Each structure stands twice: as C-alpha cells, then as structure tokens.
Amino acid sequence: MNVLILGAGGREYSIGLALSKDENVEKIYFAPGNGGTDTLGENLSISDFSELADFVEKNAVDLTIVGPEGPLVDGIVDVFEARGLTIFGPSAKAAQLEGSKIFMKNFLARHNVPTAKYIETNSLQDAYTFIEKLDVPIVVKADGLCGGKGVIIAQSKEEAKKAAGEMLSGNSFGDAGTSIVVEEFLDGYELSVFAICDGNDYIVLPAAQDHKRLLNNDKGPNTGGMGAYAPTPLVNDEIYKKLDERVIVPTLEGMKAEGMPFKGVLFIGVMVVKGEPIILEYNVRFGDPECEELMPLLKSPASELFYKAATADLKSAKIEFYDKYAVGVVMASRDYPYKSSAPAEIIIDDIYHEELNENAHISYAGVTRGDEGKLYATGGRVLVCVGIGDSIKEAQRHAYMLVGQIHYAGKQCRTDIAYQVL
C-alpha cells in the first residue's frame, strides 16, 4: 500500500521508518516531512486539506496518518472521510479531547473518569474564589491549544491569581486562554499511555515516560520533551487494569454515546498518586518523543496496526511487541527552548561498531537538507537518538553511544534519560 504521513517531526519520521520496513508498504509520502524523511519517501509541500485529498486520490494513497494535533482539531479527518478516503485520526469533534481542556475535563466528569478536582470558568472572580479554597501548588490551564505552554503550576495563591488574570485577559495566550481550568495539584509520577482506537476496539501500547524539562534531574524550563523510554516498569498489571476499566473503556464508550466515536491515538497523560491512576489530560495523537521509542518496539507490521485502526477492523489485528526496551535521547539546538538557533551543519561519524548499528538509530526532526545533500540543524529539537536493548540500562547505553557520534555547533541533550528507573 501507499501511505501519506502528515507532520514534520521526529514522531512522523519514526512512523515512516516503521512503515519503510514493512513489506506491505510500497511508497511513503510526507507532508511536509523534514530533511531526514526524504530518505524514507517523498516530501510534499502541500498543506491545504482539499489539495492533500486531491493528491491522495491521484496517487493511489491507501492510508493517511496524521501526526500532529493541529490538522486534527482543524478537521482534516472530516474532509478526507467525506471524500471516502481512509485516514487514521479522530474527527474534529472527537479531537476536542485535546483541543479544549474544558471539554476534556467536563467529559471526564460526565463519565466518572478520575481527574484532578477543578473548575472551568471565564470569570476572574470565580477563579479567585476557587483558588482560595485550594492548597498550593495550584494548577492554572488555558482552555485551547498552546503548544505545551498553556499550563502554569503556581507556587502561591498570588501567582495562581496572576496567571488566571493574564490568561483571561487574553494577554498570555490570546483566544486559547479566554476560558481557563483551575485545578488541584497532583503529587505522583507521570506516565504516557497510548491506546490505538478504531471507534470500537483498542490496543494499549507499552507505557512510556517522557522528560519535559530541559536539564538533568528535571531542572530548567519545560520543553516539548527531551527524551523518553518504554516500557516503563513503573506500570504493573494492576495499574493497566485500572486504566482499562476506569479510563479507557468509559472514555471510548462515552465518546460513542455522545456521537463522536474515537478513532486514532488516545494519548492518556496519567499521574499515578499512591497507586491510583488519575488523568491529567488527553491528547489525540502520539507523544513526541514517545512515538520514537514505541515504533521500534512494534514487532507486527506497522501498516496492519494503522490501517486496521483506520478501517474499524482492530478486532482482527494481532499486534505484537518485541520483549525489549527503547530509550530515546533528544538532541536540541543551542538556544532551545528560548529562541531559534542559527543553522548548524550536522556531521555523523561512520559507525563501524556492529552492536551500535544493530541497536541504535536516529529519528530526524528539526533538520533541513542543503542543496549539496548536507544536513543542517534548523529546528529546536533536531533529532532523537534511539537505543534498543534487553534492559533499560542497555538501551540507554546504546542511545548515548549514538549521541557521541553526532556533531553540530551548540548541540545539547540531557544525559540522564530514564534516570527514574535506573
């Protein structure tokens, strides 16, 4: 089959890499892709949904996979499905689970899915009253999509009130912040759990842990994610069972009952508090960098997982994972996440070490290919070094061996990915 992947990050590269090893897949297109995806397939510079659908029809693309949330919230799935095209991702209505934190919180409340105590409001007075009732820290969230920057964890009531005021006035996040959620702080450890859904059935992938902060030991500012590993031993069968019964089943049943069956990746942001999984949020697509670790753990053909999910046929899928671990280390550019950095040429040493060649690879993200074929670091998160191993420690060693082979001016990465479990 021929596949189109929408997006430009390491997430989309890793999906493409998995599909490129799948003998059922002939041709892979990326829109827009990046300077690395051009070795896996063909990059397209089309972004208009109707033009993309035209391309899919003309070029016999059998399946479109949407990487990022933006096009999902903007309704690309609805446009494709109205034209009878097969696409993996939720409808615009279902994508509100990510597109609006208020929608998500109210949905969780309606269906008794455990989540932090909250109010949603557009009134500063109501926000103040609720803030007075909570213990610190207090969490204030803008309603709409803010590229991972719309959440403030306030260490005092004054700070929480200030954050609420700045969001509601439209000063911090424009329209995305004109309604807010104020909620209690949950103290525990965080997991990323992914369920691939087809509207009726679902498959839960191995749970992962992300590293949001820029610096080792979770210090420094928040980022899009500096590394991840999977599966995490912090999840046991009991937690998976609770997630199934209390979270995934009621969510998928609820979405169906409310007339917006969920198809695509349900990304469950979980805080485990005293052994109980509490839901922080939903996203409606893969996490980046979690996807980069999950794709190489997939033993079954990637096309089977995505095509069957897109065509409501997961029931007939037999999806298997390798009994291995993956660790991904994000290499970022010099001024990430503060500002963009000058393009820097990337030099990758030839790797003669067989252990490394077999157990580590790069997932390219913020890279551009120059006219002479050279690669340049041009984005904030440049690439992800993914190591595979029989233990997390071995996978981590492979990932960092690969990091050592990659050079560009200003490269930065954390040196402690997976520290939580080592």
Ligand X SMILES: Nc1ncnc2c1ncn2[C@@H]1O[C@H](COP(=O)(O)OP(=O)(O)O)[C@@H](O)[C@H]1O
Interface residues with Mg ion (CB under 5 A) are 269
In angstroms, the first-to-last Cα distance of the chain is 41
Pick the piece of the chain touching ligand X (CB under 6 A) from 62-70, 185-193, 255-263, 401-409: 185-193
Q: Which does 388 bind (CB under 5 to 8 A by kind): Mg ion, ligand X, none?
A: none
Residues of this chain, 277-306, that bind ligand X according to CB under 6 A: 280-281
360 touches ligand X by CB under 6 A = no
Cβ atoms of 307 and 1 closer than 8 Å = yes
Write down the least CB distance from residue 278 to Mg ion, Å.
14
Cβ atoms of 63 and 109 closer than 8 Å = no
Determine the Cα–Cα distance for residues 281 and 99; give it in Å rounded to an integer. 11
337 touches ligand X by CB under 6 A = no
Q: Please report which residue ranges of 111-228 form alpha helices under DSSP H.
A: 124-133, 157-168
Cβ atoms of 224 and 332 closer than 8 Å = no
Residue 78 buriedness (CB in 10 A; 0-12 / 13-18 / 19+): middle
Judged by CB under 6 A, the residue of 150, 250, 264, 328 near ligand X is 150
C-alpha torsion 25→395→8→248, nearest 10: 80
Q: Which is nearer to Mg ion, 269 or 343 (CB)?
A: 269
Pick the piece of the chain touching ligand X (CB under 6 A) from 7-15, 26-34, 178-186, 326-334: 178-186
Pick the piece of the chain touching ligand X (CB under 6 A) from 24-32, 89-97, 183-191, 398-406: 183-191
138 touches ligand X by CB under 6 A = no
Determine the Cα–Cα distance for residues 225 and 212; give it in Å rounded to an integer. 4
Cβ atoms of 94 and 255 closer than 8 Å = yes
Residues of this chain, 108-127, that bind ligand X according to CB under 6 A: 116
Q: Which is nearer to ligand X, 114 or 410 (CB)?
A: 114
SS3 148: coil
Q: Which does 185 bind (CB under 5 to 8 A by kind): Mg ion, ligand X, none?
A: ligand X
Write down the least CB distance from residue 117 to ligand X, Å.
9
Pick the piece of the chain touching ligand X (CB under 6 A) from 36-44, 179-187, 292-300, 363-371: 179-187
Residues of this chain, 203-262, that bind ligand X according to CB under 6 A: 212
9 touches ligand X by CB under 6 A = no
Q: Which is nearer to ligand X, 87 or 182 (CB)?
A: 182
102 touches ligand X by CB under 6 A = no
Determine the Cα–Cα distance for residues 183 and 105; give it in Å rounded to an integer. 10
Bond prior to 337 in cis (omega within 30° of 0):
yes
Please state, as a whole number, how many other Cβ atoms lie within 10 Å of the Cβ of residue 32: 14
* Helix or strand holding residue 357 (H, E): helix 354-359
Q: Which does 95 bind (CB under 5 to 8 A by kind): ligand X, Mg ion, none?
A: none
186 touches ligand X by CB under 6 A = yes
Contacts of 224 (CB under 8 A, 6+ apart): 148, 288, 337, 380, 381
Residues that bind ligand X (CB under 6 A): 116, 139, 141, 148, 150-151, 183, 185-186, 190, 212, 269, 280-281
